[in-house]
Every structure is written in C-alpha cells, then in structure tokens.
C-alpha cells in the first residue's frame, strides 16, 4: 500500500523504521513477486562516487526507501532523510529509486537496504565494497652504484591498499621474479602495507637498466602507479684504439686515440709499443698518441692501458705506414692465378713491344749520328783544299790580280778545277 504522507520528516523516518523492523522480523520471502525490489552490489575506490539503484518490476504506488549500513534512512522516495551532502538523489520514479554517494570513505563500506512499504514490507540488500587505493611504490637500495659481479637487493613498499596490493618487478620490459610480498595490516585501519624484495646479480650489461616496481590493484588501471629507477653498475673499461685515418702516410702527422668504455670513465692512460720502445717522434698525450711525422720505422703494434680505478684493460692497434705512391694507388686486384697485381702496372706483352720499339729507335738515332759525323768531316776537308790552291803564288805577287795569274795552273788550270757541292 502507499505510505501516507507525514507532517514532518522525523515522524516519517521513525514510523518507517518501526515498520521496517517489523517486516524484517516477520522473515517472509516471496518468490517471483512483481513487487520485490532488486539491487546490485557495487565496488568503488576511496574518494570515488557510487550509485545505488533499486527497482521493482511493477508499481502499486508504494514508496521505495534506501537505508545505510546502520539502518538509517537515506532517502524515502524523493525526500532526503539524512543530512549528508555527499548523498544525492539520482532518480525517483514509481518503479526506481537511485541515489549517489560521493567522496566515498572506507567507513561507507557495508550493506545498504532498499525497502518498499507494502504489506508485508519487501527488502533487498546491496553490498558496497570500498577499495583502499595503494600509495605510489617506493624503492630502496639504490643509494650507491654496484660493482660488476656483485649483488644488489632492492625493496619496494606501498601503503594504504585494501585489499592488499600485489607488487611486480620489471627490468626494462622484462618481468622479474621477486620474493613473495609481505603484507602487514595497519592498526585501527582496514588497509594494508605491502613490501617486496628483489635480488640481482649485476653485470656491466645492467648499467643504466631501468628497474620498475609496479602496483597491481583493482582500484588502479595497469601502469597507473609505478616507480622507475636507473641501475648504476661500476665496471672496468673496455679499451679500443681509434686511428685518425685508415690510411696513415709517410711524412704526415698522425694520432691514435684510446677509447675506454667503462664506468666511471678511465682517468689514466699508458702507451707502449709491443716488442720495442715508442718512436722518438711519438708523444703520449693522455688518451692520444701523436706522431709528428710518420716513418716506416713506426710500423708495429701499439698498446694502450686504461685504468678507471675499478680495473685496468688494454687495447692494441697495428700501425702500417703507407708510402706516397702506395697511398695514391692503395687498391690491388688478383689475376686468374690468384696473384696480387697493381692495376697501374703494364702487362708483359705490352712491355716486350715497348722494348723492341725502343731498340729500333736507338739504332736509327745511332746511324743518323754517324752520317752527320762523316758528312761534317768531308765538308771540312774539301773546304781546306780549295783555299790552299787559291793561295799558291800569292807570296811573290805584287797585287791580287798577279797572285791569281801566278797561281799554279793559271787560267789553263781553271778549266780542270771542279767544285762539288753536296
């Protein structure tokens, strides 16, 4: 039946409480009752908002009521009965009564009752579970870097969870197995503190690895609360020698650099030449070995020792100085027999042809030189004879004409004189 209106809210709440108590004690259960209210259990995190809904399949104009865990009436139909601003009316119809509770606290957990005041009174209960939200995890054990080959034990803690949270460990994206969680209840509080330990055998590969402790809890979405720390590992340097260029050439400046990859970085470098002393023109300058002028005598294996206080390691480099010609044509090829050849060298047949041509040219030059010598001697002798004949009889002649007339043969001999010109 419909509940009569009352002159005051207090009178209504008292009367309803009495009727509700009587209905409960009657302990009458109806199956397939169209007036039986229906509710559902709810789960909410601390600080959240929960909605409680009560419905009946049919309406006979009777009012619905929500009561809290202490059986205090919260709402009777559209009328507020308890002055708590966190509780608000969400919906009120003849077949439904819905209310919301905001800023839920752990004390709000429990059974809430929906009642319809018919004869007899019908009720339904909804259990509200309040989740205690765990705090952000804290990681301890990263106070100092860990030497390579040592062990490190990390502890992750999270407080305020309800039910107890689960802690999970990760190295980068790989999940690690830690010790079982230790759960401790908080005095005078329904929440729990949870802790977990992880022990690692560290190597140099673990340096700068990201170690994560994540909280797994129904009140959180995956990855909501986690803490990430960077693991620092101390290890001896891994030494590598880097040349200034891949083609060191004779007569040029050159240097080698000693690269020590360690944690911490190396602070001391020592250079030496394997099976000998450093060249006079090579100067060690910390991580550098500088050559003022390369020489073939600088060839050999050079060693660099790097020390970072954790350990000492060495690297080596084989220096092979190239001469200028070799540096211009540094590449070679292999013939069909597998012999290494210089691409700038001429083939064997080409060398023979050039030798024959050179011999022929030399013979021709020699013959021409001989002909020039013979011709020169002939011209010199012929010119001398001609001059001698003209001069004969000139010693006793008073003038030039007489000297010509008195010359041997005179005019009569002139016809026999012949000149040859070549």
Task: Mark whether 25 and 124 lie in a shared domain.
Answer: yes
What's the confidence (pLDDT) of residue 380?
80
CB atoms within 10 A of CB 94: 14
What's the confidence (pLDDT) of residue 268?
94
Buried b (16+ CB within 10 A) or exposed e, 397-421: eeeeeebeeebeeeeeeeeeeeeee
Does 341 reside within a domain?
no
Does 114 reside within a domain?
yes
Contacts of 145 (CB under 8 A, 6+ apart): 232, 233, 234, 263
What's the confidence (pLDDT) of residue 336?
42
DSSP state of 47: T
Does 354 reside within a domain?
no
What's the confidence (pLDDT) of residue 190?
93
Task: Mark whether 173 and 213 lie in a shared domain.
Answer: yes
Task: Mark whether 222 and 264 lie in a shared domain.
Answer: no
Task: Mark whether 23 and 111 lie in a shared domain.
Answer: yes
Does 24 reside within a domain?
yes
Task: Mark whether 104 and 199 lie in a shared domain.
Answer: no
Number of domains in the chain: 4
Buried b (16+ CB within 10 A) or exposed e, 310-331: bebbbbebebebbeeeeeeeee
Two tokens at 109? 């957990």
8 A C-beta contact, residue 239 and residue 256: no
Does 283 reside within a domain?
yes
State whether residue 351 is helix, strand or coil. helix
pTM to 2 decimal places: 0.61
Mean pLDDT by 10 residues, the chain (422 residues): 37 42 40 85 96 93 93 94 93 95 96 93 96 95 89 95 96 94 93 96 93 95 91 94 94 94 93 92 95 94 95 95 67 45 46 74 89 84 55 54 53 45 45
What's the confidence (pLDDT) of residue 122?
93
Secondary structure element (H or E) that encloses residue 238, with its range: strand 233-243
Task: Mark whether 142 and 227 lie in a shared domain.
Answer: yes
The beta strands (E) that lie in 61-180 are given as 64-67, 73-76, 79-80, 87-93, 96-101, 110-116, 122-131, 138-140, 146-147, 151-161, 166-171, 174-176
Count of helix runs (H) and strand runs (E) in the chain? 4, 27
Task: Mark whether 304 and 269 lie in a shared domain.
Answer: yes
Does 121 reside within a domain?
yes
Task: Mark whether 35 and 124 lie in a shared domain.
Answer: yes
Q: How far apart are CA 418 and CA 406, in angstroms?
A: 19
Which residue has 């409960």 as its token pair?
24
Does 176 reside within a domain?
yes
CATH number of the domain that 119 lies in? Answer: 2.60.40.10
Does 16 reside within a domain?
yes
Task: Mark whether 154 and 267 lie in a shared domain.
Answer: no
The residue range of the domain holding 32 is 9-130
The last residue of a domain, from among 186, 202, 231 = 231
């Amino acid at each position: 039946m419909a509940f009569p209106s009352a002159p005051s809210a207090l009178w209504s709440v008292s009367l309803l409480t009495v009727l509700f108590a009587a209905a409960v004690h009657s302990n009458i259960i109806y199956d397939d009752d169209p007036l039986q209210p229906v509710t559902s259990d709810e789960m909410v995190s601390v600080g959240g908002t929960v909605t409680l809904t009560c419905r009946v399949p049919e309406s006979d104009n009777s009012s619905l009521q929500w009561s809290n865990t202490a059986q205090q009436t919260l709402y009777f139909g559209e009328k507020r009965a308890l002055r708590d601003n966190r509780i608000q009316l969400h919906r009120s119809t003849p077949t439904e009564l819905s209310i919301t509770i905001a800023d839920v606290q752990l004390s709000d957990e429990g059974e809430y009752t929906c009642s319809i005041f018919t004869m007899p009174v019908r009720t339904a209960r909804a259990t509200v579970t309040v989740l205690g939200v765990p705090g952000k995890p804290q990681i301890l054990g990263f106070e100092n870097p860990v030497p390579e080959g040592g062990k490190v034990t990390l502890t992750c803690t999270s407080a305020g969870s309800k039910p107890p949270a689960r802690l999970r460990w990760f190295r980068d994206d790989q999940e690690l197995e830690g010790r079982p969680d230790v759960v401790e209840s908080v005095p005078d509080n329904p929440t729990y503190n949870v802790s977990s330990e992880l022990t690692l055998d560290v190597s140099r590969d673990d340096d700068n690895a990201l170690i994560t402790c994540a909280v797994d809890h129904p009140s959180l979405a995956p990855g909501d609360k986690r803490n990430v720390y960077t693991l620092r590992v101390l290890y001896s340097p891994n030494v590598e020698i880097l040349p200034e260029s891949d083609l060191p050439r004779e007569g040029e400046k050159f240097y080698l650099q000693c690269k020590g990859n360690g944690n911490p970085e190396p602070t001391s470098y020592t250079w030496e030449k394997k099976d000998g002393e450093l060249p006079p023109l090579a100067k060690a300058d910390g991580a550098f070995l500088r050559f003022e002028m390369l020489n073939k005598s600088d060839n050999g294996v050079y060693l660099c020792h790097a020390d970072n206080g954790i350990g000492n390691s060495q690297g080596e480099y084989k220096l092979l100085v190239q001469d200028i010609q070799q540096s211009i044509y540094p590449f070679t090829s292999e013939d069909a027999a597998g012999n290494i050849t210089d691409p700038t060298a001429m083939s064997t047949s080409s060398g023979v042809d050039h030798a024959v041509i050179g011999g022929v040219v030399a013979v021709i030059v020699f013959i021409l030189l001989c002909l020039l010598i013979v011709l020169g001697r002939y011209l010199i002798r012929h010119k001398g004879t001609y001059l001698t004949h003209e001069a004969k009889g000139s010693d006793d002649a008073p003038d030039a004409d007489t000297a010509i007339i008195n010359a041997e043969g005179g005019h009569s001999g002139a016809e026999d004189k012949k000149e040859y010109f070549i």
